[in-house]
Amino acid sequence: MALVGALFLALLAGAQAELPGCKIRITSKALELVKQEGLRFLEQELETITIPDLRGKEGYFYYNISEVKVTELQLTASELHFQPEQELMLQISNASLGLRFRRQLLYWFFYDGGYINASAEGVSIRTALQLSRDPTGRIKVSNVSCQALVSRMHAAFGGTFKKVYEFLSTFITSGMRFLLNQQICPVLYHAGMVLLNSLLDTVPVRSNVDELVGIDYSLLKDPAASASNLDMDFRGAFFPLAEGNWSLPNRAVEPQLREEERMVYVAFSEFFFDSAMESYFRAGALKLSLVGDKVPHDLDMLLRATYFGSIVLLSPAVIDSPLKLELRVLAPPRCTIKPSGTTVSVTASVTIALVPSDQPEVQLSSMIMDTRLSAKVALRGKALRVQLDLRRFRIYSNQSALESLALIPLQTPLKTMLQIGVMPMLNERMWRGVQIPLPEGINFVREVVTNHAGFLTIGADLHFAKGLREVIEKNRPASTSDTSASSAPPPATTAA
């Protein structure tokens, strides 16, 4: 009985789970590029290490080591890979740090001081970033674990007290190595929890597409890492700005990502596109009205000739009034994705009327228009773009079959008007695109779109249009007091 109850609860939870409209997979092939950019950033961060002054006494000798600064970092061997439960693991081995510090030595009344170069060798760093979903649906670095070890240090002492420094070097270098071991992990913790999170803050979560519609890219659950990739499920739903709490139920096929040949893959279901079209429909944007000179001259003449019998029965003040042609979508358009291509089905009303000045308009005819558009999806940089092409067009009367026959002569000119006058305007707006959830400074290149049953995938490679340092400095938190406090790792994360 308990087993049946558990199965029922599991099925209920599965039924209530929200399906993603957008999925992103980052494969292990992207890690080499990410590692190169990340190591440049890491080198710059490690050069900011500050080491406390080192003071001591051995017999009659008093020494003070101060102003210790990292001058260079050489990373000879490093590896970045996915690891289940930890998401991203970075291992650096046999690295070296170049140091410069000020020395001061007092022996009775004799004093010696100056600057000297030193090196820390055999540096090993092992750090893991854990990624998760925060309460707002944003991807965040939720934890950074770190182990760092400096195997040995060497300082080239010189000057009058060279022999004395050589005698004291064991104490000095051992102390500096201990302090350096304690400083590496706090720097990496701050880089992950504060600086990398400021980069992830540039990923759009819930933002405006234009003045009518917004898009919601909230993460539905924590990112899932395997040995070869990192998968993220996003809501991927548009919404009308006037109805911020409205959402379209997702009953589409869940997109699947199985490929791993490219650096990154993005999948969009039919729901993603349906929610966009329904949002614009609810916002009242799917209508077009052409009046007077806006109606093509040839079409104006044809319409007046077609409805001449109705026009001549009107009063003389109305006969020469401007013609109005209004197209209004009757129901939210729907997208269909098949391996053969992507289509959009639209049903609209076409109203033809005369618009006399200072008088109510006089309707001449009303008809239904069924159209099927082919959609070509492309990804440029971070913008998802769609280009539409009119494939099928049919008009008919919702009054009688006889009137539908009378509309046949209007079929070709109305289709031409759509192709020449309406489709370019629509494609100009569609080609502006909508941003996909990527951090600032990272773009897609060499994209390939593949259609499946109910969803499409886009495989691409990554390109850093801006360096990590440039983006992070631009979005660095304004207050440093809070970040410095939050950047201190737990004591267990630093291994001496």
Locus of tokens 């080192």: 54
Q: With helix as H, strand as E and coil as C, how does the chain read?
A: CHHHHHHHHHHHHHHHCCCCCEEEEEEHHHHHHHHHHHHHHHHHHHCCCCCCCEEEEECCEEEEEEEEEEEEEECCEEEEEEECCCEEEEEEEEEEEEEEEEEEEEECCEEEEEEEEEEEEEEEEEEEEEEEECCCCCEEEEEEEEEEEEEEEEECCCCCCHHHHHHHHHHHHHHHHHHHHHHHHHHHHHHHHHHHHHHHCCCCCEEECCCCEEEECCECCCCEECCCEEEEEECCEEEEHHHCCCCCCCCCCCCCCCCCCCCEEEEEEHHHHHHHHHHHHHCCCCEEEEEHHHCCHHHHHHHHHHCHHHHCCCCHHHHCCCEEEEEEECCCCEEEEECCEEEEEEEEEEEEEECCCCCCCEEEEEEEEEEEEEEEEEEEECEEEEEEEEEEEEEEECCCHHHHHHCHHHHHHHHHHHHHHHHHHHHHHHCCCEECCCCCCEEEEEEEEEECCCEEEEEEEEEECCCHHHHHHHHCCCCHHHHHHHCCCCHHHCCC
Q: Which amino acid, 385?
A: R
Residue 413's closest CA among 350, 473, 471? 350
Q: Is the C-alpha dihedral spanning 88, 218, 7, 255 positive or negative? A: negative
Pair 27, 229: CB distance under 8 Å: yes
Structure tokens belonging to residue 458: 């886009």
* Per-residue CA distances from 201 to 113, 233, 349, 384, 476 (Å): 47, 17, 44, 20, 10
* Per-residue CA distances from 494 to 47, 87, 145 (Å): 18, 20, 8
Structure tokens belonging to residue 484: 């410095």
Distance separating alpha carbons of residues 207 and 244, to the nearest angstrom: 11
Structure tokens belonging to residue 171: 């104490």
* Per-residue CA distances from 350 to 329, 365, 372, 410 (Å): 9, 8, 16, 11
pLDDT at position 150, please? 85
Structure tokens belonging to residue 278: 């329904």
Structure tokens belonging to residue 58: 């051995």
Length of the chain: 496
Residues of the chain with pLDDT under 70: 1-16, 58-60, 107, 109, 156-171, 308-309, 312-313, 400-404, 406, 477-496
Other beta carbons less than 10 A from residue 287's beta carbon: 12
Residue 458's closest CA among 284, 292, 257? 257
Q: What is the pTM of this model?
A: 0.83
